[in-house]
Structure 1
Amino acid sequence: MTEKVLASWKDGRVRQAILDFVHAATTPGAAFVDVADRIATFDNDGTLWVEQPLPPQFDFVFRIWEAEARTDPSLAARQPYKALIERDQAFFEGLAAQEPQVVSTLLEAFARSWAGTTPEEFEAQVREWMRTAKQPKLDVPYLELVYRPMLELFDLLRENRFRVFVCSGGGRDFMRVFAEETWGIPKENVIGSAAAYTYADGRLVRSHELLGDLNLGAGKPENIFAHTGRLPVLAGGNADVDIEMLRSARFALLVDHDDEQREFAYTKGAEASLAMAAELGWTVVSMKNDWTTVF
């Protein structure tokens, strides 16, 4: 017996909307999409895995910065180390709001920690984090908190000759470490905020500079086009920083976190995107009502 398509999605309006779009895009007719143009892009944090109480990459970064502050106590008076030690949540929320001073301070700290390192050195740190870190509420490793329904959607799209990309404000090189084994997509299909690299004396090393802008808001469709030469026909997100990417696609999928029992229930940072979904007719996924299984 053939396994059911989108098996973790409840039968209903949302599941059917996805199936209808894929069928129309791959069947000769007015809505047909050439194979070359079948680009699907998805945000990561909150769209593919848990993002509360903070995106998992912050857990990784904070552990590094805490270790640096213990080694060099003078860092405790400087941002972002000060905010980390004082558990100043508002400071880090300024990144999602793209507050220039917060963004600049965090980028300086990233450069301080990783400029001059090789991709292999950075990957080793990420893999150690993957091996040891657990999500605080659910008490399991972060890679066990990828949403099964979204992986099933990836499978459906690939079976229909869509190319799937992850497009996140998070670090490109961080996500690339687990992209192939977790999402089943190649590293080159990861689009994210990234440091520039330099190659000299036979070594590739991270520089102090950011490659372009942060991959948030308008930066998402801009970077998707720069990476693929096309805009997506299908896009999935969950937050206000995904609006521009969702608007650039023919079919927009917005994940609504409304399941306190199995995951989290919140709308903070998604108020504008939920309003836009109602205005433009995007397909809104209720984690509580549309998914039989979350992880």
Structure 2
Amino acid sequence: MTDDALPSWNEGATKQAILDFVARATTPGADFVKVADRIAAFDNDGTLWSEQPLPPQFDFVFRRWGEEVKSDPSLAAIQPYKALVEHDMSFFAGVAAQDPATIETLLKAFSRSWTGSTPEQFDAEVRVWLETVKQPKFGVPYIELIYKPMLELIEYLKANEFRVFVCSGGGRDFMRTFAEEAWGIYKENVIGTAADYRYIDGQIIRAEEGLGGLDIGPGKPEHVFAQTGRLPVFAGGNADVDIELLESATFAIIVEHNDDAREFAYTSGAEKSFARAAELGWTVVSVKDDWNTVFGHIERV
């Protein structure tokens, strides 16, 4: 890294607001935050990597379910397989918005697909997808579409003794597969919608049941607290399902997707969150105006 801890961020009010908050939080005074309380939590889809045209995990699972329908055509009569076969865009809109009822349907299918598997088996399947499947607009693997400015922000916070967590409605185990190499975040700092596990005959095996409910809406601060015993002082998100996480933090940023040339421009699923941002004074991060680089990796010290 250069002397500028956030080189992919343009100079301006947004970058300065982040720097000022971290300076206040780490300098003795009225806004000082003890090291033990320096918790930062970020959503993943649309906050740390691109989520269009659908969150990447859905590309992964839809491919698996497509193969399952080929093996068992009777699945085509039930959701979510039915929507896949019929190209039901209304169902997919619920997926993109992370609608709880739609997600519940998906979780049942997840159980059907991966119950009884080991973490190693699931990781291997995810890695094949990461290495072979390309995002349709950019023609590169999804793992190449992580936001470089956000990686710099994670490293900056870590350098200032923040513990950084990812808190996403997406699958915890899916994100854990690449968390350490992609984000520089340990697996245990990844919070997401999760399966339960059992230790059977010397192996950890994925159980049918979910663990702790959906990690969306109020589930986000609830899960952060359950894992850390604290609420975040710094939080980042981009959508309505992140409102409660952002509300729970002392300082919040919300990513505005308004650059169709370098990424995507959209507001669907984020209308309420930006209204709340205006009410509470969250810092809005404009992809178009605040980032001089969108995608890329960084060198870690």
Give the shorter-chain TM-score range: over 0.9
Q: Does 1:17 align with 2:3?
A: no
2-structure distance, mates of 1:183, 1:2: 19
Secondary structure at the residue paired with 1:194? strand
**Counterpart of 2:64?**
64
Query: What code does the residue aligned with 2:202 have?
Result: G
1-structure distance, mates of 2:25, 2:98: 35
Kindly report which structure 2 residues correspond to 1:163-202, keeping only aligned pairs within 5 A, or say none. Answer: 163-202=163-202
Secondary structure at the residue paired with 2:266? coil
2-structure distance, mates of 1:57, 1:175: 9
Write the deviation string for residues 126-147 of structure 1: whole angstroms up to 9, x where unpaired.
0000010111111111111000
**Counterpart of 1:206?**
206
Could you say if the C-alpha distance between residues 59 and 280 of structure 1 is closer, same or farther in structure 2, counting changes exceeding 3 Å?
same
Kindly report which structure 2 residues correspond to 1:116-127, keeping only aligned pairs within 5 A, or say none. Answer: 116-127=116-127
1-structure distance, mates of 2:207, 2:73: 25
Query: What code does the residue aligned with 1:64 have?
Result: R
Gaps of 5+ in 1: none
Secondary structure at the residue paired with 1:5? coil
Moved more, 44-53 or 72-81: 72-81
Gaps of 5+ in 2: 296-301
**Counterpart of 1:32?**
32
Q: Does 1:81 align with 2:81?
A: yes
Is the 2:39–2:231 Cα contact (8 Å) retained in structure 1?
yes
Is the 2:98–2:169 Cα contact (8 Å) retained in structure 1?
no
Is the 2:123–2:174 Cα contact (8 Å) retained in structure 1?
yes
Could you say if the C-alpha distance between residues 103 and 151 of structure 1 is closer, same or farther in structure 2, counting changes exceeding 3 Å?
closer
Kindly report which structure 2 residues correspond to 1:102-113, keeping only aligned pairs within 5 A, or say none. Answer: 102-113=102-113
Matched-pair identity in %: 68
Q: TM-score, normalised by structure 1?
A: 0.97
Q: Does 1:98 align with 2:99?
A: yes
Could you say if the C-alpha distance between residues 87 and 3 of structure 1 is closer, same or farther in structure 2, counting changes exceeding 3 Å?
farther
Q: TM-score, normalised by structure 2?
A: 0.95
Could you say if the C-alpha distance between residues 5 and 82 of structure 1 is closer, same or farther in structure 2, counting changes exceeding 3 Å?
same
Report the aligned-residue RMSD.
Answer: 1.1
Secondary structure at the residue paired with 2:51? coil
Query: What code does the residue aligned with 1:19 have?
Result: L
Tell me by how many angstroms 1:97 deviates.
5.1
Tell me by how many angstroms 1:2 deviates.
4.3
Tell me by how many angstroms 1:270 deviates.
0.3
Could you say if the C-alpha distance between residues 48 and 97 of structure 1 is closer, same or farther in structure 2, counting changes exceeding 3 Å?
closer
2-structure distance, mates of 1:183, 1:105: 29
Secondary structure at the residue paired with 1:136? coil
**Counterpart of 1:41?**
41
Query: What code does the residue aligned with 2:99 have?
Result: Q
**Counterpart of 2:136?**
136
The alignment of Structure 1 onto Structure 2 pairs a total of residues equal to 294
